[in-house]
């Protein structure tokens, strides 16, 4: 059945299509670590993954998940800080990046991604992407602030120069607008 899990899997699919052993990737919203683990397995022991979250609970959950999968090694850097400061940690280039927006399931629903910091983080991520690199954003417009965040991202993404970036949007057409969706941005050339 098509549901939110289909959308999440689609985000993984877009990155798994291009990520290779030894690549560098970013998880902008670590949460329970599903995306961090997917990235760590995709880039392999020679690769590097930077994962951000502002909550201690997310760092702990992700550390547990990585340890259980035997990938808790130097390839993954868990960073407890806001993703809008990512340029202080990452020099680049990045071959892949994912943001799963909103709140941490099973946690405080007041702690959500915010439009201004999300946009700042996405802008920096786009700068760091290598040619052929992909940024996946999973948007959840169903919670307070989620719709505004989604619209701001779509506005930003739709203004990107099509000679430098290609943008794809995937939505559930016959569901309420609160249903999750995926935005995929691929850097086609470094500079125009």
Query: Would you say 111 or 170 has its CB closer to ligand SAM?
Result: 111
Per-residue x/- mask for ligand SAM, residues 160 to 189, rule CB under 6 A? ------------------------------
Query: Would you say 29 or 95 has its CB closer to ligand SAM?
Result: 29
Q: Which tokens hold the place of 101? A: 């927006």
Dihedral over Cα of 173, 174, 177, 182: its sign:
negative
Query: Would you say 27 or 186 has its CB closer to ligand SAM?
Result: 27
Please tell me the chain's helix, strand, coil percentages from 3-state DSSP, rounded to the nearest 5.
35, 25, 40
Distance of alpha carbon 105 from alpha carbon 108, whole angstroms: 8
Q: Whole-number minimum distance, CB 192 to ligand SAM, in Å? A: 29
Q: What is the DSSP string of 113-127?
A: --HHHHHHHHHHHHH
Query: Would you say 56 or 174 has its CB closer to ligand SAM?
Result: 56
Per-residue x/- mask for ligand SAM, residues 27 to 56, rule CB under 6 A? --x-xxxxx----------------xxxx-
Alpha carbons within 13 A on the beta-carbon side of 9: 6
Contact status: 58 vs ligand SAM (CB under 6 A) = yes
Q: Which CA distances in Å does 147 have to 51, 107, 121, 130?
A: 25, 20, 18, 29
Binding footprint of ligand SAM on the chain (CB under 6 A) = 29, 31-35, 52-55, 58, 82-83, 100, 102-104, 111, 113, 117
């Amino acid at each position: 059945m098509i549901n939110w899990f289909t959308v999440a899997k689609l985000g993984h699919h877009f990155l798994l299509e291009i990520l290779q052993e030894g690549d560098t990737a970013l998880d902008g919203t670590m949460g329970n670590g599903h995306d961090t683990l997917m990235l760590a397995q995709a880039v392999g022991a020679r690769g590097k993954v930077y994962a951000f979250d502002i909550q201690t609970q997310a760092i702990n959950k992700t550390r547990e998940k990585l340890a259980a999968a035997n990938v808790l090694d130097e390839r993954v850097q868990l960073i407890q800080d806001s993703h809008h400061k990512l340029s202080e940690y990452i020099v680049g280039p990045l071959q892949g990046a994912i943001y799963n927006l909103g709140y941490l399931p099973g946690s405080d629903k007041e702690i959500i991604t915010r439009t201004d910091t999300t946009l700042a983080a996405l802008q920096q991520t786009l700068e760091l992407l290598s040619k052929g690199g992909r940024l996946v954003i999973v948007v959840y417009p169903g919670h307070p602030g989620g719709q505004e965040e989604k619209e701001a991202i779509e506005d930003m993404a739709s203004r990107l120069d099509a000679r430098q970036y290609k943008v794809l949007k995937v939505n559930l057409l016959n569901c309420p607008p609160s249903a999750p969706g995926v935005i995929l941005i691929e850097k086609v050339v470094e500079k125009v």
